[in-house]
Amino acid sequence: MISRRELLRLSSIALATAGFSSLGQRAANAAKTYAVGKASTVPVKGGKTFSVAGRSILITQPSKGKYRAFVAQCTHAGARLDGSRNLRNNVITCPSHGAKFSADTGAATSGPASSALGKVKVSVSAGNLKVTF
């Protein structure tokens, strides 16, 4: 027969284990890395929009070899930003109301938007772009 003390000890171990594995799973789900395409498809001082896990991500290359990634949605009214149509000379311009954003920092520089674009972590490995969110 198990004593009350032993039963409590085993129960607490089981609950702690379940809690930690749940936290580990949530942490694993919280940040995933996705391969999105070749770095060579993103022009210098330009950008390209990719669909990643159901989200539109705008990747820019403000200077040779320097990549930035943002949520491809204007912070003013939610318009979709397309790297091939809305980005020229390191300036992202919203097609709806003309808000402008820096392709290097995502900061709003003029127009009705007052907040920066959402940043996404981007890296390059063996010539391939990867984003993490």
> What's the rounded Cα separation, in Å, for the pair 128 and 94?
27
pLDDT of residue 3: 72
pLDDT in tens, the chain (133 residues): 677 776 556 565 555 555 555 555 555 556 799 999 999 999 999 999 999 999 999 999 999 999 999 999 999 999 999 988 899 999 999 999 999 999 999 999 999 999 999 999 999 999 999 999 8
User: Residues 58, 70: contact at Cβ < 8 Å?
Assistant: yes
Show the tokens assigned to 107.
Answer: 């900061």
Using DSSP bridges, classify how beta strands 128-132 and 33-38 pair: parallel, antiparallel or unpaired: antiparallel
State the pLDDT at residue 84: 87
Q: Which two tokens stand for residue 37?
A: 């395409």
Q: Kindly write down the DSSP assignment for every residue of 53-122, as one continuous string.
A: TTEEEEEEEEETTEEEEEESB-TTT--B--HHHHEETTEEE-TTT--EEETTT--EEESS--SPPPEEEE
**Cβ neighbours around 58 below 10 Å, total:** 28
